[in-house]
Amino acid sequence: MNKPLKPILLTLTLLLAGGLAFAQAPADGGPSPVAPTATPIDGGASLLLAGGIAFGIKQLRARRLVRRATR
């Protein structure tokens, strides 16, 4: 196959295959929950925040060591 034809063929295949991927319709059975369940966001977000702070401190220390070594 020609090189320019491969990306075009891949794009057309993915676009046409997307039409086949329909979600199922919601079912009519089963009781509905009285109160929606809440998901805790704080646990994961605080861990990501702590990891970001630790990574930032590590990068700042490494940058400071490089500056001292080049002086």
Model pLDDT for residues 6-55, shown as the tens digit of each residue: 888 988 888 888 777 766 666 676 666 666 666 666 767 888 889 999 99
pLDDT for the residue numbered 46: 82
HEC letters along 19-57: CCCCCCCCCCCCCCCCCCCCCCCHHHHHHHHHHHHHHHH
Structure tokens at 42: 């704080």
Residue 59 belongs to some domain of the structure:
yes
Residue 13 belongs to some domain of the structure:
no
Specify the pTM: 0.42
Structure tokens at 61: 């220390």
- 39/45 Cα distance (integer angstroms): 12
pLDDT for the residue numbered 57: 96
Residue 24 belongs to some domain of the structure:
no
pLDDT for the residue numbered 27: 67
Domain count, the chain: 1
Residue 55 belongs to some domain of the structure:
yes
Model pLDDT for residues 54-71, shown as the tens digit of each residue: 999 999 999 999 999 887
pLDDT for the residue numbered 47: 85
